[in-house]
């Protein structure tokens, strides 16, 4: 058996629109995405969302499994970034306009 703790992030071609939209349909996850969009890369711990770590981790998992976010270990922490290129290639304009709309 391999990769017990590896999160399965879809490759570009596997990213599905319904899953992306579902991932973005949660206010907490939308906040996460907006913050990443503003900052470029954000560690999981950088969100002062009043919520247990496990719950936050769940939301990151949904974002990763949907293909919206990818993560990369940087020493002790996980840096999260948007998969803008993949999303733009697959669903042009979708993430962009949603982020713009989310910023009011």
Cβ neighbourhood burial of 69 (10 Å; 0-12, 13-18, 19+): buried
Can you give the length of the chain in residues?
Answer: 104
Q: Which does 12 bind (CB under 5 to 8 A by kind): a copy of itself, DNA, none?
A: none
CA torsion through residues 36, 39, 44, 47, sign: negative
Rounded to whole angstroms, how far apart are CA atoms 11 and 93?
19
Q: Which does 40 bind (CB under 5 to 8 A by kind): a copy of itself, DNA, none?
A: none
Of the listed pieces 4-12, 21-29, 40-48, 54-62, which binds a copy of itself according to CB under 8 A? 21-29
Q: Which does 52 bind (CB under 5 to 8 A by kind): a copy of itself, DNA, none?
A: DNA
59 binds DNA (CB under 7 A): yes
Residues 4-23: x where in contact with DNA by CB under 7 A, - otherwise, as a string: xxxx--------------x-
Rounded to whole angstroms, how far apart are CA atoms 48 and 18?
28
Q: What residues line the site for DNA (CB under 7 A)?
A: 4-7, 22, 26, 28, 43-46, 51-62, 71, 73, 75-78
């Amino acid at each position: 058996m391999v990769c017990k703790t590896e999160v399965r992030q879809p490759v570009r071609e596997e990213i599905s629109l319904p899953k992306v939209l579902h991932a973005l349909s949660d206010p907490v996850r939308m906040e996460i995405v907006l913050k990443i969009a503003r900052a470029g890369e954000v560690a999981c711990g950088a969100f002062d969302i009043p919520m247990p770590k496990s719950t936050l981790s769940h939301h990151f998992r949904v974002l990763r499994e949907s293909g919206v976010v990818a993560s990369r270990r940087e020493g002790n922490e996980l840096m999260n970034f948007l998969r803008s290129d993949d999303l733009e290639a697959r669903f042009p304009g979708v993430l962009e306009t949603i982020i713009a709309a989310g910023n009011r």
